[in-house]
Structure 1
Amino acid sequence: MDTPNFASQSGAKRERSPSNESSPAKRQAVELPATESRPSVPAWSRCKHLDDAQRLATKERALVRAEENCGRLAERLLSAAKDTQGRPGDSAEVIGEEIIMKWCKEYETICENHRNYGVRVGVEGPTGAGKSSFLGSLLRIEELLPSSQEAAATAVVAEVSWNYNDTPGYELCAEIRFRELVDVRDDLALLLTEMRNLKILEYLEFETSEDREEAIANANTIVKYELPKATAIWGMQRPALCKYANKCTNKVATQAVVSEILNKNSAVSELLNSRIKYLHSSDHRAFSRAIRPYLDSTKGLHGGSIKFSAWPLVDKVDIFVKSEILKAGIRLVDLPGCGDAMDSRDRIAQGFRDQLDIRMVVSPIYRAADEKNSRDLMQNGFRQLQLRMSGQLGPNSFCAILSKMDEITVNSYINGTEGLQDDEETLEKLTRSKELTEMKANIEKGSKAGKSRFQNVQSAATGQGDRTRDINMNLQVSEAIELATGAALTDATKAIQAQDGQEKQVALEIDRLKNWLHHKASETRNSRVKERIHDNFLTLQDEIDVDGDGLNADEVSWLPAFPVSSRAFWELEMGDDPMVGFPTQRFTGIPAVERWLHESTLSSREKHLDLMLGRYRNLMGRMSTYSQAQNPDQNFRFTRTQVELALFSSHKTFLQRINDMFATYAHEIKTMDPLAERKRSAITRFSKDSRKIVERWIYKYPEDECRVEKLAWRTHEAILRRGGNVFTSNGQTTITYAWLEELQVPGTPILTFHQADRLRASSILKSIVGVWDATINQKLPNLRKPILEKLKAIWGDYMDDLASAIQNFAPQLVAEFDKILPIMRREKYVIAGEIGMTLDRLSEKAGAGSSRIVPLMEEQLKPTFRVALDITGTGALKARHEIITRQVKSDMEPICRGVLKGLSCELHKHKSSIPGELKTIAGMARHNVESQITTLLNNLLDNDGIDTTTQGRKEQLQADVRDILSQWEIDWSSYVDGSEHILGRESGIPESIDDFFK
């Protein structure tokens, strides 16, 4: 199939929102009880008593219906507003053109807010672990993302989100975002410079041969990182690039060479200058082929005449598809495999992790507890403390995916596993399976003999008939022979049928036993691997909590782990015969992961749904007021402007009170300082721990106090030049050094040569993480309750003040004003949702401050490292180490204070935005109330003296709006049966397989 003609998706029709039903006929609804049948009280606002599945299904459908009905309203209103253009008189004012345009603008804003919402779920793990296949199973789209089976695994970050584009041909869309041209030039310049430096190293003198080897190896580290990118783009191998590197004698010459290489393929510059490329298709296989060259090492023309791999030019790929799991706002992120042969891909994944809300670490189940890269991802102490600071360390934000569950040799596992090898039921079924297998072989042998006898009898009967005709036997003899032959044939047929039935029955029994044994072995392994992972996880929690901060038991009581088999899933999904041990998709583990994702994101998604639905309800209320039919004989002696002036004082008083209240809590938030309480202890501990850590920086194996081999001076220098950040030495032994992280969490198991069994006493991060978590992730969100209680009182007074002002100035409006009071009173729930979201965002931003600790430490140590690097010549390693240890020891307290001050400034920056955000919420609250009142006044007071044509057009518009609102109220009047929702279905791997073979 030819590659489709992909084009930009700009200007394409946008779908309003995904629905849980493909058509109205498929809706499943339960009508509200008669006592709760008021259509003005939507089911979604009164469903707290329902279970998660029914509640979420009700709210999700309500949001879909709200978008649909608002879309219809907007279309009708804009048509009416457009119709007033060019008409004489006050048509625009009578129709309420300004009100209409504001309403439609708010509708667009709500839609945009909903589409921008998403929970990022990162899928990461070792290359070849089955990440892409697992993602394809969740998406129900096979081979959407590249697999490492072709040695071309995902090389860039790919984020998959729900596709709101409903235009035919745009069912699958992608946005490829390219890197800056200057960054690509810098990468190429660095590669050429380091390749030239390698040549220079060959002529330098070293104290030992090991120093020489290590210096060359470290120089090769950069080359190893950058070379695959240059080779992918320009197709040049190392020898060809070395020729260019020889010309790079200075910066000017290097830039000239870089330009020369770039000019070899103009398509590279064209891609980078385009910044974004759009692709779309309706066929997932054609779409996959089209996006693959931007995700992995697949070569393509990319608009030029030379084929090359574009992945080093790509910053990120955003993919939009219509997949069930994405409907609720879940966004799946495929990260390049860690431990990839191409180090550059590994670093891409590391750099994106801070942007994730939920992390899933994938590793083959048969090595999940021991595979180094998976273990580091799940057990890295420094990373776990960062997750705890950001509130992301818990069973709802972190899990292990144990892939390739189907890969197990059942008999060998049973015979070699304690607990199975002496389990009576298992041994009985294993023995029975062997007996039945032998029985089946005997039956097949007997069946073969029976069929042979049948053929002999049949042949004999045919021959006998011929003979009787040949010798003209008498009729009586002939009949006797035929009867005897027929009986023999009948007996032979019955024997074959009996053998076939017995063989079929035995085969079914063998199949049942095979499935039982496979399931038993698989589930045993599943539970044991999960237990090992969990024990390792809890051990680490105990070790990083030596300060007694008291990790929340609910947070870390269990690390979710889900065994899965993507292969077995797709066998069933495609309608093929199921694999042994996997009779239904539940046994593959994929549905269990889907449910966990929905459960983990439930709180965030439900808050978002409540906020969106509250906003839509306000829009509904405003249109309800706008569309009310009025008595044409009413005659008011005041204008809309006069009434609005009479209410100005009430609005002003409310705004002052709510802003004062917000200011009080903003000040309380400002005074929350999780660092103040532990500052002294953090400084003391850091001073104590860091001395010992820094003293070991001169050694090749800093964590092993029994090893005294010195670090090669080139390695030491390379680490210094990187400011103490992560550096991998590729000498005779591959070792990763992380000086700055080690200062935060001493003993963190990051070094590839060493598996730390215990973590030493904590440092800065460990000293503050507990109180930080308690303040930012627990105390801060708890402010919501007292704020909302104050808001409730202030809002009630606001409504009463407005009612009183109307009563005093325009008593004729009281009856009409009372109709909109319930609508305006409900506005406080929307404001409450906005406040909650604001506090949640602050907590998230503040928690992300943990990622600043290493840069802050680097900033503090930079002057010392710079002085050390100035030392050259014989004995430089020892002199550098002495100045570092001396300086760090004397400046421990200032260094720690500098880091804590930087963290405090970062936190203060986020907290300083709160007053402005709360003030915006207050202003929005007043605006919404004023808009509701303005809509009412327009309907009552802006109709005097209008011509009958305009009056008729407005009345028709109001009638049309009422019809749409009536349907909207019906759509919102019923609960949804949640039995088909993922949260309402059985999804875990069944304990027993017997029920599926009855």
Structure 2
Amino acid sequence: MDDNLFIGTPSEETKVGSLQRLKSESSLEKLERGVEVGVQILGGIKSALAEAKDNAEIASWIKSISKLQGKARPTPCIVGVVGSTGAGKSSVLNAVLDEECLVPTNCMRACTAVITEIAYNSWEEDTNKYRAEIHFISSEEWRDELQVLLQDLFDPQGRLEGDHANPDSEAGIAYSKIRAVYPSITRAHLMESKVTANGLTEDPSVRSMLGTTKHISALDAKSLLDQLRQFIDSKEKARDNNREHEAMEFWPLIKVVKIFVRTPLLESGLVLVDLPGVQDANAARSAVAAKYIERCTGLWVVAPITRAVDDKSAQNLMGPSFKRQLQLDGTFANVTVICSKTDDIRVKEAIENLPEGKQIHQIRKEAHALEAQSEEIQAELSEVEERVKTLGRLIESHDREIDNIEGVVRLAGEDDDVLISSPQGSEKRRPRTIALKSRKRNKRSLESGSDDSSTEDGDESPDSDYEEKQETLKKSKAVQRLEGLKLERRAFREEKRTKEEELKPLRKKLRKAKAETRRLHRQAKSKCIRFRNQYSRPAIQQQFADGIKELDQDNASQRDEANFDPTEDQRDYGQIAAQLPVFCVSSRAYQNMTMESDREEAVSGFPSLEDTEIPALQRHAVDQTRCARVAACRMFLNDLGTYLTSLMLRVTTADNPLKLTVDIRQQELNFLQTTMQTLEQQLKESTEKAMTECRQLLDTSILSKFAPATRVASDTAPVTVESWGRPKNEGGLPFMTYRATCVRNGVFKGKHGLKDFNEELSDPFKKQFARGWELVFSETIPKQLDSLVEALAQELEAFHIRMQGRAEIRVSLSFQLVAQPIKSHQHSVRNTTAVKDLVKLVPRKANRELSSVVANSMTRAYDYCSQESGRGCFKRMKEFTGDHIKDTGHTMFDSAAKDAASRLTSLLDKIDKKLRKTNATILKRIKSDYNSLVADDNVLKDLSTARGNIHSLLSEADEEFEKVMRLQAPGTGDNVSDPTAAMSVGDGEIAEAPVGKIKHEAGELSNSQPTSQVKAEEDVEMSD
């Protein structure tokens, strides 16, 4: 189909081909600029239609424009960041964001307890670059938390647990947490009065915070963090009884902290979430963390490189349960492993572990040789320097002695004797000379000045330790002595000059040797770092693939142990390993090289910023948003093209209606109705066929597996429950941990790690269908839907061909306008984002509910164990839980199966409904457009002013998209993101907004609550 379309009279040619070409553009920068231009064009059209907004059809158009503008908002890409304590997670986030201290990094308890979401700051009203929201848990959530803490602190009889003074015990942790919020509560208070969860919740200072959100802002990151500290800081004060005057701490009450910053990295819709752990001790935070994990489009696993390979710390962060969740979610491909602290390396140990023949060994030999050479040069240099110093002292000594003798000789007569004093035993001693008159004339001594005589008290001159030698000479002898001293001084000066000349090349040679040694050491360290990175990367990738393989083998053996063949791979594990992104980064080196603040000494081993791998990680973060951004832009531009073309059609037919006789018009309307009915039936049949096949896939791969899964899980559950109560040396749990887990409805994270009774019970159930679940929702159903949309697109093309055969309407200038949207409708069915999001997110919710059903079924056992006390209580707890699982196990898993089946069949019903709605919307638009052409039914005929304004806007629109197409990508000459460009529209000028402004003005991205990724398919209708 020709891209050159016309409106108005034949002499008024207006192309819209640029917009059509832009939809196929691969440049994200151009696509996003095109979206910005499109939003502004829609704004101009809305203004042009405003004068006729009382007309029902025009009002519908204006509403459609608003919906379409809303689609311009960026699709959020949530990346969860997990890592163990001390992994350097916060430092990595700061470096990636090009910040020094946006995320706290100082090992406070709060740093590992509070979920932190970091998103783009799109509030134009706030001039501050940084702002934050501190969301506090509700009164109900804090009351529930207090009830759990008090159950840890008191036994069922209300007695204070004896180990509450132990900070590592469950009771001690509960005691510390309560006192953090209520500092006036002491042990005596707890023992003397009845403390209740309701009473503590109603404390005025606490109640005023619960359920609220605190807003703060700052011009710089440090100021924002300083303000945040008063809420998130855990002071870890001594546990004494004198805390009445201490301020309460807020961190136990915080659900999530949201930080917003204006930075290009986040402007694209990227949201980084620092997740301390999915199973937080606080139930509210745990639920929030689980929600984020469910919605994440990317997951960064951070582990120190010093432990990442040997200790498998990155692998251990993703335990069997976590990997099972990734499998059910179909998100193995979303994982990124970040090995942190690559600057932390012991070069000597690293070199010793390197194989012989590596270049680094030669570098090390060269460095050692240079060090030896430097020592030799240093020894020679020291010897020369010492001689120069000695000569300097000799010259100084001679200068003084010469001065003194010259003074005495000058004052003495020809026959006078001269008394000369010189130091004994050392060149350093200051000589003294005294001139004497003739003995015939009463001897008169001429003393030298004070500088050559005794020193002041406290003077540490070495002269005080030596005696002086005095001798009396004739004046002639003194003159001879003087000449001799001058000759010696001249010789000393000449030697000193010679030695000083020798110093310059020696020092230069030493500096060069030391500089080369340092360079070699830096090179050696750099090569060690690179070698470790190159070694770690494939090792971690292989560990990840091996973990998935173990998971698959476990699933296969559980499903059919008799036919399980461990040599038969269920997927390409080599490809999985190769596709896992692994970054070996040094946040410290990156920040040291990029930030001008006072820092520690330079970090060696990184010749360039790229060697820190932080820039590569930043690009990876942007790339994780790219696919979603490109898809969202193309969808918006496609809908925009459909809308503008329909609007062009109405403007054109209002000015130049199709000239048909009454009979011919009726014939064409009848043909249109028949053809539309045929198209509607074809779309319906194709959709029904595809959905039937999807239901068969679901039943074969998942639903049919629920019955055997229920049997297996029911048989396994008693053994699992029995294992919890075994002696500790056999893998069982201590009494306090067992009880604390029951108090928390089966999930507890304490000093012994995470314990999840519900997941352990449901895991054998999930294993029976995990692989089938992953394949159905990651591959088979998406492929089936892809086949469907291709069939729908072909049927739309067939409709277009049938309409092209109508000679009476094909000759109209407007026919191309009415036919053009067919391509857009084909694009719409190919890009059913809402359906794709449903296929991703609903199964994630469904598989998580399996554990929730188990937890609800176990509530009676958990409640019993929470209240049991006294002699033999542990035995009774274990017996009751064992009896409960035997009695209710089958019913429990049957309920879980039915719940999952209901959710999954409901998912297909929703997909069916959305597809039918998409079909209906397309049919409605096509019918509306053709009716506008054939039936001469056009509301714009009576709105000449609005029609003229719209005509002007549309006349300019495609030129603006042509400008976008002419722009070049960054780095090729033109500035794609020039915010100063203006777009001429109609009678006035509409200034183009800066990049990013329009992307966020349609709605806040995650500024008040976690943003759902399920975006309903919105209809853009021209008429009812």
TM (norm. structure 1) is 0.73
Give the distance between the partners of 1:870 and 1:195, measured in 2 at CA.
13
Is 1:390 matched with 2:368?
A: no
1:914 alignment counterpart: 911
Please say if residues 62 and 972 of structure 1, whose CA atoms lie closer than 8 Å, have aligned partners that are also in contact: yes
Deviation at 1:779, TM superposition (A): 0.6
Give the distance between the partners of 1:796 and 1:634, measured in 2 at CA.
24
Q: In structure 2, what residue type is equivalent to 1:617?
A: G
2:194 alignment counterpart: 247
Gaps of 5+ in 2: 1-14, 237-244, 411-486, 557-563, 975-1024
Deviation at 1:699, TM superposition (A): 0.6
Give the distance between the partners of 2:214 and 2:16, measured in 1 at CA.
51
Provide the secondary structure at the position in 1 that maps to 2:345. Answer: coil
Provide the secondary structure at the position in 1 that maps to 2:210. Answer: helix
Could you give the per-residue CA deviations for residues 110-165 of structure 1, whole angstroms, max 9, x where no partner exists?
12xx33x2221111112222111100111112211112345541532221223334
Deviation at 1:580, TM superposition (A): 1.1
Deviation at 1:971, TM superposition (A): 0.6
Deviation at 1:330, TM superposition (A): 2.3
Please say if residues 33 and 964 of structure 2, whose CA atoms lie closer than 8 Å, have aligned partners that are also in contact: yes
Is 1:405 matched with 2:432?
A: no
Q: In structure 1, what residue type is equivalent to 2:814?
A: E
For residue 693 of structure 2, the aligned residue among 668, 681, 698 is 668
Q: In structure 2, what residue type is equivalent to 1:827?
A: H
Is 1:557 matched with 2:577?
A: yes
For residue 135 of structure 2, the aligned residue among 155, 162, 177 is 177
1:614 alignment counterpart: 638
Could you give the per-residue CA deviations for residues 509-529 of structure 1, whole angstroms, max 9, x where no partner exists?
223211221123223433454
Provide the secondary structure at the position in 2 that maps to 1:826. Answer: helix
2:756 alignment counterpart: 738
1:972 alignment counterpart: 965
Provide the secondary structure at the position in 2 that maps to 1:175. Answer: strand
Deviation at 1:269, TM superposition (A): 3.5
Please say if residues 157 and 316 of structure 1, whose CA atoms lie closer than 8 Å, have aligned partners that are also in contact: yes
Give the distance between the partners of 2:856 and 2:165, measured in 1 at CA.
28
Give the distance between the partners of 2:289 and 2:973, measured in 1 at CA.
36
Q: In structure 1, what residue type is equivalent to 2:897?
A: L
Could you give the per-residue CA deviations for residues 625-654 of structure 1, whole angstroms, max 9, x where no partner exists?
567698689988899x99997756655554
2:521 alignment counterpart: 514
Q: Structure 2 vs 1, CA of residues 578 and 658 (structure 1 numbering), >3 Å: closer, same or farther?
A: farther
Provide the secondary structure at the position in 1 that maps to 2:103. Answer: coil
Q: Structure 2 vs 1, CA of residues 75 and 899 (structure 1 numbering), >3 Å: closer, same or farther?
A: closer
Provide the secondary structure at the position in 2 that maps to 1:123. Answer: strand
Give the distance between the partners of 2:351 and 2:43, measured in 1 at CA.
67
Could you give the per-residue CA deviations for residues 906-938 of structure 1, whole angstroms, max 9, x where no partner exists?
322323322222222223323544666688799
Give the distance between the partners of 2:866 and 2:147, measured in 1 at CA.
23
Is 1:123 matched with 2:144?
A: no
Is 1:381 matched with 2:320?
A: yes
Deviation at 1:38, TM superposition (A): 9.4
Q: In structure 1, what residue type is equivalent to 2:693?
A: E
Give the distance between the partners of 2:92 and 2:533, measured in 1 at CA.
17
Provide the secondary structure at the position in 2 that maps to 1:159. Answer: strand
For residue 295 of structure 2, the aligned residue among 355, 375, 391 is 355
TM (norm. structure 2) is 0.71
Could you give the per-residue CA deviations for residues 919-970 of structure 1, whole angstroms, max 9, x where no partner exists?
2222332354466668879999666687xxx55x754553344224312222
Deviation at 1:587, TM superposition (A): 1.2
Provide the secondary structure at the position in 1 that maps to 2:904. Answer: helix
Please say if residues 550 and 770 of structure 1, whose CA atoms lie closer than 8 Å, have aligned partners that are also in contact: no
1:696 alignment counterpart: 723
Give the distance between the partners of 2:280 and 2:744, measured in 1 at CA.
22
Give the distance between the partners of 2:281 and 2:712, measured in 1 at CA.
39
Could you give the per-residue CA deviations for residues 523-550 of structure 1, whole angstroms, max 9, x where no partner exists?
3433454555455444443433231581
Please say if residues 152 and 740 of structure 2, whose CA atoms lie closer than 8 Å, have aligned partners that are also in contact: no
Give the distance between the partners of 1:895 and 1:279, measured in 2 at CA.
47
Provide the secondary structure at the position in 2 that maps to 1:582. Answer: coil
Deviation at 1:320, TM superposition (A): 2.6
Give the distance between the partners of 1:64 and 1:526, measured in 2 at CA.
36
Structure 1, 37-46 or 657-666: larger mean CA deviation: 37-46
For residue 591 of structure 2, the aligned residue among 570, 581, 584 is 570
Provide the secondary structure at the position in 1 that maps to 2:955. Answer: helix
What does 1:239-638 align with in structure 2 at a 5 Å threshold?
239=187, 242=190, 246-248=193-195, 255-256=198-199, 258-259=201-202, 262-263=203-204, 265=205, 268-272=206-210, 275-297=212-234, 308-336=248-276, 349=289, 352-369=292-309, 376-378=316-318, 380-393=319-332, 396-415=333-352, 417=353, 419-420=354-355, 422-423=356-357, 425-444=359-378, 446=380, 495-530=502-537, 533-534=540-541, 536-546=543-553, 547=556, 550-553=570-573, 556-558=576-578, 559-574=580-595, 579-600=603-624, 602-622=626-646, 625=649
Q: In structure 1, what residue type is equivalent to 2:825?
A: E
Could you give the per-residue CA deviations for residues 816-841 of structure 1, whole angstroms, max 9, x where no partner exists?
1223422332221122101x551343
Please say if residues 176 and 316 of structure 1, whose CA atoms lie closer than 8 Å, have aligned partners that are also in contact: yes
Q: In structure 2, what residue type is equivalent to 1:969?
A: E
Please say if residues 198 and 220 of structure 1, whose CA atoms lie closer than 8 Å, have aligned partners that are also in contact: no
Structure 1, 693-702 or 642-651: larger mean CA deviation: 642-651
Please say if residues 187 and 226 of structure 1, whose CA atoms lie closer than 8 Å, have aligned partners that are also in contact: no
For residue 843 of structure 1, the aligned residue among 827, 840, 843 is 840
Q: Structure 2 vs 1, CA of residues 411 and 980 (structure 1 numbering), >3 Å: closer, same or farther?
A: farther
Give the distance between the partners of 1:890 and 1:254, measured in 2 at CA.
33
Which protein has the larger Cα radius of gyration, Structure 1 or Structure 2?
2
Is 1:40 matched with 2:18?
A: yes
Could you give the per-residue CA deviations for residues 421-455 of structure 1, whole angstroms, max 9, x where no partner exists?
x4564333223213323433444555566677779
Give the distance between the partners of 2:844 and 2:278, measured in 1 at CA.
25
Provide the secondary structure at the position in 2 that maps to 1:272. Answer: coil
Q: Structure 2 vs 1, CA of residues 223 and 721 (structure 1 numbering), >3 Å: closer, same or farther?
A: closer
Q: In structure 1, what residue type is equivalent to 2:577?
A: S
Structure 1, 227-236 or 176-185: larger mean CA deviation: 227-236
Q: Structure 2 vs 1, CA of residues 888 and 619 (structure 1 numbering), >3 Å: closer, same or farther?
A: same
Q: Structure 2 vs 1, CA of residues 913 and 292 (structure 1 numbering), >3 Å: closer, same or farther?
A: farther
Please say if residues 154 and 295 of structure 1, whose CA atoms lie closer than 8 Å, have aligned partners that are also in contact: no
Q: In structure 2, what residue type is equivalent to 1:550?
A: Q
Give the distance between the partners of 2:791 and 2:675, measured in 1 at CA.
18
Is 1:108 matched with 2:69?
A: yes
Provide the secondary structure at the position in 1 that maps to 2:337. Answer: strand
Is 1:790 matched with 2:791?
A: yes
Give the distance between the partners of 2:111 and 2:918, measured in 1 at CA.
46
Please say if residues 228 and 342 of structure 1, whose CA atoms lie closer than 8 Å, have aligned partners that are also in contact: no
Give the distance between the partners of 1:288 and 1:582, measured in 2 at CA.
29
Give the distance between the partners of 1:832 and 1:185, measured in 2 at CA.
49
Deviation at 1:877, TM superposition (A): 4.9
Q: Structure 2 vs 1, CA of residues 317 and 591 (structure 1 numbering), >3 Å: closer, same or farther?
A: same
Structure 1, 536-545 or 191-200: larger mean CA deviation: 191-200
Give the distance between the partners of 2:897 and 2:117, measured in 1 at CA.
35
Percent of aligned pairs with the same amino acid: 20
Gaps of 5+ in 1: 1-36, 48-54, 86-91, 203-211, 300-304, 473-479, 705-709, 746-762, 982-998
Provide the secondary structure at the position in 1 that maps to 2:255. Answer: strand
Q: Structure 2 vs 1, CA of residues 65 and 872 (structure 1 numbering), >3 Å: closer, same or farther?
A: closer
Give the distance between the partners of 2:67 and 2:667, measured in 1 at CA.
24
Structure 1, 735-744 or 452-461: larger mean CA deviation: 452-461
Provide the secondary structure at the position in 2 that maps to 1:176. Answer: strand
Q: Structure 2 vs 1, CA of residues 433 and 813 (structure 1 numbering), >3 Å: closer, same or farther?
A: same
1:984 alignment counterpart: none
1:134 alignment counterpart: 92
Provide the secondary structure at the position in 1 that maps to 2:813. Answer: helix
1:779 alignment counterpart: 780
Deviation at 1:406, TM superposition (A): 0.8
RMSD over aligned CA atoms reads 4.9
Deviation at 1:314, TM superposition (A): 2.7
2:766 alignment counterpart: 765
Give the distance between the partners of 1:863 and 1:913, measured in 2 at CA.
35
Could you give the per-residue CA deviations for residues 882-902 of structure 1, whole angstroms, max 9, x where no partner exists?
565466457665544333223
